[in-house]
Structure 1
Amino acid sequence: MARNTGNSRFSALALALVAAPVALMAQSSTTSAMTGVVRDPKGNPLAGATIRITSPSMIGGEKTTKSTENGSYRFSVLPPGRFRIVVEAPGMTTLTGNETLELGRTATLNWKFQNAASAVVEVISEAASLDSAPVGVTANYSTEQLASLPTERSLSGIMNLTPGVNANHAWGGDSRENAWMMDGINISDPQSNTQWIYPNPDWFSEIQVGGIGAPAEFGGFTGGFINGIIKRGGNDLAGNISGYYGDSKWEAVSTNSDPRFSAADRKPLPAKDWDMAVNVGGPILKDKLWYFGSFERKSSESTSIGAAAPVKRRDLLALMKLTWQATPNATLEGIYEYDFVGRERRNISSTTELDATNKQEAPNHSYGLTWTQAVGSDKVFTLKAFGYSGRNDQPGYNKEDYSLDTYDTFNGIEYYHNPTTVSYDYRARFTLSATFDLFRSGLFSANDSHAFRMGIERESITDEEVQRSPGGIGLMGYVDVDSNDNPAVFTDYFWTGGGWNIKEKATRTTAFIQDSWSVNDRLTLRPGLRFEQQQAHAYGQPTVWDTKTVAPRFGVTYALTADQKNLLKFHWGRFFSAYSASYIDRQYQSMLPPEVRYHWGTPASGYAPVQIDPTNYASWPMPVLNDPANPAYMTISSFAPTDPNAKQPYMDETTLSFEHRFDSPWTASATYIYRVNKDTLLKKDLAKDTGHWEDMSFWDYRHDPEGNTQVTMPVWQSSIPSDQHQWIVTNIPEAKRAFWSATLALTRQFQDGWSLNASYTRARRYGNSYKANGYDELFENPNNQINANGLLPGFDDNEFKLHGMYEFPWKMRVSGSFTYLSGNHYTPYGRFTDDQGVRYFPNVVPRGSEKYPSEHLLDFRVTQLLPVTATKNAELFVEVFNLLNTGTALAWNERMNTANYQLPSSVERGRRLRLGFRVNF
């Protein structure tokens, strides 16, 4: 917790006066709180003391309360920010202090009067954290911190700063198992549970990354969560204008050494990135009506190594928030937000022709209202409504022309003329919630206190998805040699159908209760309980998903020493996954039209393969439908109804941590996390398979880059025709996933011009299943269970993160961020087609036997501050990303029976510069 350094008056009271602030994770997802105990000079609880607080972030002016019979007091539902505190009692010296409240946390400030001659005493002390969430692996980032670090300007970039979180995989969870929140409300995509709204980080006064040891208010994730609190404005006009610019001319050539990439492939294509934003807030009526507004335009270009063109992305974002102090005890807030994401050449890669990419058009609107009502000093009601609706359309560039996939690459290209699929999606989410905060003291003993928070929430979502082949038909070719023994492309088959047409609605009803029970000055208990009911149905159909879950949580924090500098924390909790539209998106055959395959050739050839030029669409033989001479030879159906007795997937989490606070800005911690996933949803085949095992030989490019050797392994030849499977989506107990990590962290809060955060994490993610949303293919076929157990992807054995800042006397700041990742685990696999004409991809070695190269990322930023007045200044800065210019492969072809084995599809961008400015007023 950040602290104000105060002034020299501390020396006059060092022996007799203590104000000890601590943090409790029992507050709201959008606010903070302040609590504590007031004592007389003898250390006895003092009733009737007056506590006053003021803050630039708090509308309505000063707030006051009085201490209860046991000396305790509480201010609930406060905005995060810096507060001034004054404590008064008849006949006592007035005490004052400063505290910075952090999002989602409660600061405990205990005050002790003394007999002193001075009329006012300034109290200065350091903060400890008594919440259940370990400080070493969860983080709160202020606007000032984010503005000074060289990091990606996105929620995911901020999330990945946190120990144990990389590439949006949080503490063993999948990237689709996080909760993305804005003002405490879910902004995730209801289909995939990935991020739907991409806000400007400048919108937020503070961003919290958490999930470990989270109280009952938080749910809908088995990974982690990130939550940004939108700024409110203030009594003074304040804002900034900022700009960022990058150019591929300032980007180094990739150092990736794969010989299949030429020097031209490694050289960045011409590209420019820029980002311009205006953010301003202030009063319409002082202490009565505030506003905050933001407008941003940005454009970026990124090129996959070997691709013929960059992906061009453009964004437009606008937001307005009003805060009205409607009565002395009530506040109304309203927001409206618009964002647009557009991309050119989406999905391009080194094996994709320019015209075989997608164009993206994705507008979205969001809106919300929040009413907060205080009743006395111990009760607060909050009513909140929030919703969004938006589209994500990805058509092709050649309208309804057919696409071509050549199965393997021909002259380095596999996909031609149009994308294999086009999609047209719509999403909407609406949430209505009510929460009640209640503070009570002396319930079970004279000195205890309880901060209860209880709430109910109702959420509805709409998911519409259309994905199909352009023109309703897809073309498949293959690469072989022609009569002159030269590589050539031949026709193979075409298909109709496939894709999906999903329209569904879902609702969630939640109730929770959480208590932060301060038993005494050293022991805090946090029991909590969360209930949810999830229901879903397709348009015009009955409910097919209906689950009721109960998630208990329990945390304990014990101060091993009276000065609260040595803390032992324990937390156990059950966390259920958020509902995903994927749970029932194969419920009806109409949602997934069967894929029907026909031989592709010409009537003159009897529909036998013919040679084609894949780059000349006009020369391709057009598919012929309804020809008796060319009947369908295969039908593939993905129809998979959901088990009516299926349960909501969940994760049990146990954490244990020790934290030590030094007599300085330094804090050290050690944290152990264990998570195990249960009731995983997978697709299973109920049809009886009387097939057999047989040995299959695969060309082995893993050990022989020339592909002259083979490896032989048993594979399953299924007896079930492709259109006679009896799929079902259900919970399968044999699906296993577990995760553990141990983290050592050292933090130095900003003081004397510098700060530092360092962490080392050792982790393991293991089992046989890494998705819980019904799309893991583990039990679809025995081939998928070959070598299925082992180390799962999505983690690194060893992780080291370091970031910090130093400020020189001449107003120059230097900040840096270093990340070492030992490499994700992956599993080489082979591809073959079984007797039924279905492709399978069995693992040729135990899961997770191989690792990607380690990553060493060093980013750097230099900022020069140019003061104009006490409140106005300008900043000029330069950022250097990937200073070491590593060309590490982040993803590559893992199929070992192809010459493209380990051909990178994603490589760390070379060293690059970004220039920027910010004018603060």
Structure 2
Amino acid sequence: MRCRTFAWLMAFLLVVSGLAAAQQQYGTITGTVSDEQGGVLPGATVSISSSALIGGTQTVVAGASGAYTFRNLLPGSYDLQFEMSGFSTLRREEIIVSVARVTNVNAELRVGAVAETITVTGESPVVDVRQNITSTNIDADIYEAIPTARNPWTMAGLVPGMITGQLDVGGNRGMQQYSLEVNGSADSQKSFSIDGLKVNWPGGSGGFTMQYYDFGMYEEYNFQTSAMTAESGVAGVYMNMVTKSGGNDLSGTQSAYFANDSMQGENVDETQAALGGNPIINTYDLQGTLGGPIVQDKAWFFGAGRWWRLDQFLPGTEGLGEGGGPTIDDNRITNAMGKATFQVSDRDKMFVMLNKNWKYRYHRDRTPGDFVGIEATSFQKQPAQNFVASWDRLVGTSALLNVRFGRMWGETPYFYQEGIDRDDTRSIPIHDTVTGTFLRSAPNETFNPNHRNQFNASLSYFLDQASAAHDLKLGVSYSTIGYANRVTRIFDTLLEATDGVSDQAILYDTPTVSNDLMSDWSFFIQDA
């Protein structure tokens, strides 16, 4: 009985938690059609068109209260046309739709000849009056125009009230994720999604994602920081990244970025410089996209690729690297992404997307020491993949069914450097607690395959009555995650020294193996 009561209580809380958009990947346009005296016009025809809309123009009929709605709209610019016998036609152009937002567009038709058309351009509402979500949308036009580093965590720093754990200067933090906090939330209380499906890494606190993303593959970033939609399922920061889809016109982009130490200004004296730092040695970022039609209005494709490199020194490691110089932190990441979108029938639309990521961090510092020798760094070789499949079906004239499945899988291993002999006692790592140095080899070697399977389904129903219009929605989510970890150490030993003299040994029992599996499900119902 207690479990049943608790379930109903949670359902009620989700109902009253706030109004929600049609899907985390999409936006919505809704409104009311009326005449000049304010009388509603049931039966008015409303059509929508856009280069972002596969399948061509869509048409709905205003209901008993004059209300209409278009759900599951990809971010972009849309044109609306309102028609009614005995009234002039009204066109509203360049209506901007953003992810997880409801754009309210009301239409007032004038009595007149049917052949007369009135066109209004550029009057897109900037305030979402249908929802109380605190969210920030950053589309491609914005993030390409702002001179910032090219990664999602830098975009998060543009959100009002957001606290980031690092400041990215010239791309020096692009190879590593960092904390995001808002309204006093913990860093572990953040959630990442691609096209509305969660992609949080199962390891650690769960507040990270396993991939590093191609900046050019996204149409828009949506950040929610309070009063989130029911689908978000998080109390902290929610970040959804919506991928591009191609279109009826073949188009693409190409970009190249480069910087090195000669392009950096300095305002430090010799004393400050002697303390060490982590300046960028060089960085490269090459990226390209291509999208277009497979069949006009029936099938689209989009692809993106990125290769980028970042080399910089580890702070305070002068004399510990190759040739007596500082230890280098050199990174390479390659991305490849492909997506296909299909208008299967007048009522069915689907897409599939695959994103692959290869990260190589050749000298990663994972030691408790402040100053790490190059031989004591780890080699991080991290392949990761993410797959998403989504299907939308129009049920009748007023209901929309969405079903989607996603899988993320890969590894986050850390290996000893090449040349480290695991059978040689001289390879046992040593940590000097006085000088803070860590030498000989990395603390351990780990191998940790992991995965996340995510299934979401929702049904939206638009009920238009003479007294009021309701946008009812119910949904369910189910996920399974797995994280395995295997740790080994050279001779199961870590030596500790005091000012160069070994005085104790810490012993371990390896290999240690763990395997964590978890599944969860949730549901919601709401009325907007």
Pick from 489, 501, 513: which aligns with 1:501? Answer: 513
Q: Do the aligned residues in 2 keep the contact of 1:462 with 1:505 (CA within 8 Å)?
A: yes
Deviations 1:870-899 (A, max 9, x none): xxxxxxxxxxxxxxxxxxxxxxxxxxxxxx
Q: 1:222 to 1:470 in 2, by over 3 A?
A: farther
Deviations 1:350-385 (A, max 9, x none): 511111111100001222211110123311111111
Structure 2 equivalent of residue 472 of structure 1: 492
Q: 1:460 to 1:399 in 2, by over 3 A?
A: farther
1:129 aligned counterpart, secondary structure: coil
Q: Does 1:386 align with 2:406?
A: yes
What do you get for the CA RMSD once the two structures are aligned?
Answer: 2.2
**Aligned letter for 1:440?**
L
Q: Does 1:113 align with 2:109?
A: yes
Deviation (angstroms), 1:81:
1.2
Structure 1 equivalent of residue 139 of structure 2: 142
Structure 2 equivalent of residue 290 of structure 1: 300
**Aligned letter for 2:397?**
S
Structure 2 equivalent of residue 702 of structure 1: none
1:327 aligned counterpart, secondary structure: coil
2:303 aligned counterpart, secondary structure: strand
Q: 1:268 to 1:45 in 2, by over 3 A?
A: closer
Pick from 398, 403, 413: which aligns with 2:429? Answer: 403
Deviation (angstroms), 1:134:
5.5
**Aligned letter for 1:249?**
S
Q: Does 1:491 align with 2:503?
A: yes
Structure 1 equivalent of residue 245 of structure 2: 232
d(CA) in 1 for partners of 2:347, 2:116: 31
Structure 1 equivalent of residue 171 of structure 2: none
d(CA) in 2 for partners of 1:160, 1:173: 15
1:144 aligned counterpart, secondary structure: helix
Pick from 8, 31, 34: which aligns with 1:36? Answer: 31
Q: Does 1:374 align with 2:388?
A: no
Alignment of structure 1 residues 51-90 onto 2, 5 Å? 51-90=46-85
**Aligned letter for 1:184?**
G
Deviations 1:58-95 (A, max 9, x none): 10001000011111111121222111100000010100
1:123 aligned counterpart, secondary structure: strand
Structure 2 equivalent of residue 263 of structure 1: 274
Structure 2 equivalent of residue 435 of structure 1: 458
Deviations 1:83-129 (A, max 9, x none): 11000000101000121110111211111112357811123535232
Structure 2 equivalent of residue 299 of structure 1: 309
Q: How many residues of Structure 1 are paired with residues of Structure 2 in the alignment?
A: 474
**Aligned letter for 2:363?**
R
Q: Do the aligned residues in 1 keep the contact of 2:402 with 2:457 (CA within 8 Å)?
A: yes
Q: Do the aligned residues in 1 keep the contact of 2:34 with 2:66 (CA within 8 Å)?
A: yes
Pick from 298, 306, 330: which aligns with 2:348? Answer: 330
Deviation (angstroms), 1:195:
1.8
Q: Do the aligned residues in 2 keep the contact of 1:382 with 1:436 (CA within 8 Å)?
A: yes
Q: Do the aligned residues in 1 keep the contact of 2:474 with 2:524 (CA within 8 Å)?
A: yes
d(CA) in 1 for partners of 2:269, 2:406: 46
Q: 1:86 to 1:132 in 2, by over 3 A?
A: closer
Structure 2 equivalent of residue 418 of structure 1: 441
Q: Does 1:46 align with 2:41?
A: yes
Alignment of structure 1 residues 519-538 onto 2, 5 Å? none
d(CA) in 2 for partners of 1:262, 1:52: 64
d(CA) in 2 for partners of 1:284, 1:439: 33
d(CA) in 1 for partners of 2:28, 2:461: 12
1:461 aligned counterpart, secondary structure: strand
Pick from 155, 173, 176: which aligns with 1:158? Answer: 155
d(CA) in 1 for partners of 2:73, 2:382: 35
2:143 aligned counterpart, secondary structure: helix
Q: Do the aligned residues in 2 keep the contact of 1:55 with 1:84 (CA within 8 Å)?
A: yes
Q: Do the aligned residues in 2 keep the contact of 1:419 with 1:470 (CA within 8 Å)?
A: no
1:408 aligned counterpart, secondary structure: coil
Deviations 1:735-784 (A, max 9, x none): xxxxxxxxxxxxxxxxxxxxxxxxxxxxxxxxxxxxxxxxxxxxxxxxxx
Deviations 1:33-65 (A, max 9, x none): 111111122211111000000010010001000
Percent identical: 21
d(CA) in 1 for partners of 2:70, 2:54: 14
Structure 2 equivalent of residue 201 of structure 1: 215
Q: 1:49 to 1:267 in 2, by over 3 A?
A: closer
Alignment of structure 1 residues 734-749 onto 2, 5 Å? none
Deviation (angstroms), 1:312:
0.7
Structure 2 equivalent of residue 169 of structure 1: 181
**Aligned letter for 1:245?**
F
Pick from 380, 386, 392: which aligns with 1:360? Answer: 380
Q: State the TM-score, normalizing by the size of structure 2.
A: 0.85
d(CA) in 2 for partners of 1:75, 1:421: 55
d(CA) in 2 for partners of 1:105, 1:198: 26
Q: 1:399 to 1:123 in 2, by over 3 A?
A: farther
**Aligned letter for 1:180?**
F
Q: 1:350 to 1:477 in 2, by over 3 A?
A: closer
**Aligned letter for 1:123?**
V
Deviations 1:801-842 (A, max 9, x none): xxxxxxxxxxxxxxxxxxxxxxxxxxxxxxxxxxxxxxxxxx
Which structure has the bigger radius of gyration?
1
Q: Do the aligned residues in 2 keep the contact of 1:310 with 1:345 (CA within 8 Å)?
A: yes
d(CA) in 1 for partners of 2:40, 2:343: 34
Structure 2 equivalent of residue 102 of structure 1: 98
d(CA) in 1 for partners of 2:371, 2:118: 71
Structure 2 equivalent of residue 901 of structure 1: none
Q: 1:396 to 1:111 in 2, by over 3 A?
A: same
Q: Does 1:274 align with 2:274?
A: no
d(CA) in 2 for partners of 1:110, 1:305: 58
Structure 2 equivalent of residue 869 of structure 1: none
Structure 1 equivalent of residue 320 of structure 2: none
d(CA) in 2 for partners of 1:422, 1:408: 25
Alignment of structure 1 residues 502-517 onto 2, 5 Å? 502-516=514-528
1:147 aligned counterpart, secondary structure: helix
**Aligned letter for 2:158?**
L
2:447 aligned counterpart, secondary structure: strand
Deviation (angstroms), 1:266:
4.7
d(CA) in 1 for partners of 2:267, 2:526: 52
Q: Do the aligned residues in 2 keep the contact of 1:215 with 1:514 (CA within 8 Å)?
A: no
- Runs of 4+ in structure 1 over 6 Å off: none
Deviation (angstroms), 1:304:
3.5
Q: Do the aligned residues in 2 keep the contact of 1:24 with 1:129 (CA within 8 Å)?
A: no
Structure 2 equivalent of residue 902 of structure 1: none
**Aligned letter for 1:403?**
P
Q: 1:502 to 1:179 in 2, by over 3 A?
A: same
d(CA) in 1 for partners of 2:451, 2:29: 36
Structure 2 equivalent of residue 130 of structure 1: 129
d(CA) in 2 for partners of 1:216, 1:329: 26
Q: Do the aligned residues in 1 keep the contact of 2:24 with 2:99 (CA within 8 Å)?
A: yes
Deviation (angstroms), 1:499:
8.4
Structure 2 equivalent of residue 710 of structure 1: none
Query: Mind listing any 5+ residue stretches in structure 1 that lack a counterpart?
Result: 1-22, 480-487, 517-921
Pick from 345, 349, 353: which aligns with 2:363? Answer: 345
Q: Do the aligned residues in 1 keep the contact of 2:370 with 2:437 (CA within 8 Å)?
A: no
Q: 1:69 to 1:131 in 2, by over 3 A?
A: closer
**Aligned letter for 1:382?**
N
d(CA) in 1 for partners of 2:316, 2:343: 57
Deviation (angstroms), 1:223:
1.6
Deviation (angstroms), 1:477:
1.8
Q: Do the aligned residues in 1 keep the contact of 2:133 with 2:224 (CA within 8 Å)?
A: no
Q: Do the aligned residues in 2 keep the contact of 1:217 with 1:514 (CA within 8 Å)?
A: no
Q: Do the aligned residues in 1 keep the contact of 2:359 with 2:381 (CA within 8 Å)?
A: yes
Deviations 1:505-559 (A, max 9, x none): 111111111221xxxxxxxxxxxxxxxxxxxxxxxxxxxxxxxxxxxxxxxxxxx
